[in-house]
Amino acid sequence: MTLSKDLSSSISAKKLPIVNTQAQQSVEIATNTDDDLEIPTSCSIIRADVSLKGLTTWKVGGLAQWYLEPRTVEETQQGLAWAKQKELAITIIGAGSNLLISDRGLQGLVICTRHLRHVNTQLDSETQTIVADAGKMVASLSWQAARRGWGGMEWAAGIPGTVGGAVVMNAGAHGHSTQEILVSAEVLNLDGTISTLSAADLNYSYRTSSLQCDSRIVLSAKFQLQAAGDPEEVKARTFRDLEKRHSKQPYDRPSCGSVFRNPSPLYAAALIEDLGLKGYRIGDAEVSRLHANFIINRKDATASDIRALIYYVQRQVNARHGIELEPEVKMLGEF
């Protein structure tokens, strides 16, 4: 639906954070008291009361008070400027994996970058580099590299997220991660300017980066791969990694991927399984019987069901093992 002036409404004054689920952050901004929230004609693609349920891999969540799905950097800049002017909370989401949105939804402006195009995919055969938009699915990029015989991204074939999310979260699998192949990333600052960050600027560590502590939006990323030779061999390795992932993880039901970070040198799944929690349910949320570090939506789970199950697992593991499991999933909104 296109939002016109007659759909503009007042928003009650609350302290709301800027949240980037390409990154984990909570930055307080001034609260809105303006009763005249008009959408500029240049940003008429902003919509009101949009369901976020279908935009997360868990298939749960309430409504976005305001929603923008930009296709260009300019549309993103316009949306940010409008939200900043009206002192609204800003939440950035990508493919919706590793994300739990409250059943009550989110106040302010939600910006979804899954269709954001800045550079389109660029593959350089001489240097084996790939430049891709933030909204590009990592798995798709992995297969594009494999078909060219480029190694280094085989592990990413089963990652259910975007390039932007992978850059921010240092996504990984099978002992590899984004930081091994990232050269640089272009980011959009809240003031509308664009900066280029090197991999060193991101201070990578296990499933984290410095982008989780600020409000910048990843626009694109450059990756360095290797000329591994025969494309058939690279595709075979990619397929083996994908099959390994599918054989051990529940892809038949909605989930967010791994719920908890591994408390090195231990594994979260092993700690949970040791407690006999596979198959444990709260509402329609269940600890997967296939992989204990997955919580699945059997059919009609709510975000509150999933959150309650996450906390239950944490308490049980802490009580038995004295270990506080840290969630990978980002929880947004009021529960």
For the stretch 18-37, pLDDT in tens is 455 554 333 333 334 344 55
Residue 8 pLDDT more than 50?
Answer: no
320 is catalytic: no
Q: Is residue 31 situated within a structural domain?
A: yes
User: From the candidates 69, 75, 186, 328, which is the catalytic residue?
Assistant: 328
140 is catalytic: no
Range from 150-164, 187-201, 207-221, 313-327 carrying the lowest mean pLDDT:
207-221
Q: Is residue 236 situated within a structural domain?
A: yes
- What is the DSSP-derived secondary structure letter of residue 134? T
Same domain, 238 and 316: no
Same domain, 242 and 254: no
First to last CA, the chain: 28
The residue type of 326 is E
Q: Is residue 266 situated within a structural domain?
A: yes
Q: Is residue 21 situated within a structural domain?
A: yes
Domain that holds residue 127: 122-247
pTM equals 0.83
Which of 63, 181, 163, 159 minimizes the C-alpha distance to 116? 163
328 is catalytic: yes
User: From the candidates 97, 186, 207, 216, which is the catalytic residue?
Assistant: 207
For the stretch 182-225, pLDDT in tens is 999 999 998 889 999 999 999 999 888 999 877 789 999 999 99
Same domain, 220 and 147: yes
Q: Domain boundary residue among 247, 273, 290?
A: 247
Which of 122, 130, 158 minimizes the C-alpha distance to 258? 158
pLDDT of residue 37: 59
Q: How many helices (H) and strands (E) does the chain have?
A: 6, 20
User: From the candidates 142, 209, 258, 288, which is the catalytic residue?
Assistant: 258
pLDDT of residue 173: 87
How remote is the C-alpha of 82 from its chain's centroid?
Answer: 24
Q: Is residue 19 situated within a structural domain?
A: yes
pLDDT band for 304, please (50, 70, 90 cuts). Answer: very high
Same domain, 315 and 256: yes
Residue 48 pLDDT more than 70?
Answer: yes
110 versus 33: the higher-pLDDT residue is 110
Query: What is the CATH number for 156?
Result: 3.30.465.10
Q: How far apart are CA 255 and CA 139, in angstroms?
A: 17
Same domain, 45 and 157: no
Q: How many domains does the chain have?
A: 3
Query: What is the CATH number for 257?
Result: 3.90.78.10
Contact call for residues 34 and 87 (beta carbons, < 8 A): yes
Which of 9, 205, 227 minimizes the C-alpha distance to 124? 227
Q: Which two tokens stand for residue 164?
A: 């932007």
Cβ count near 171 (within 10 Å):
25
Angle between helices 231-248 and 138-147 (to 10 degrees): 150
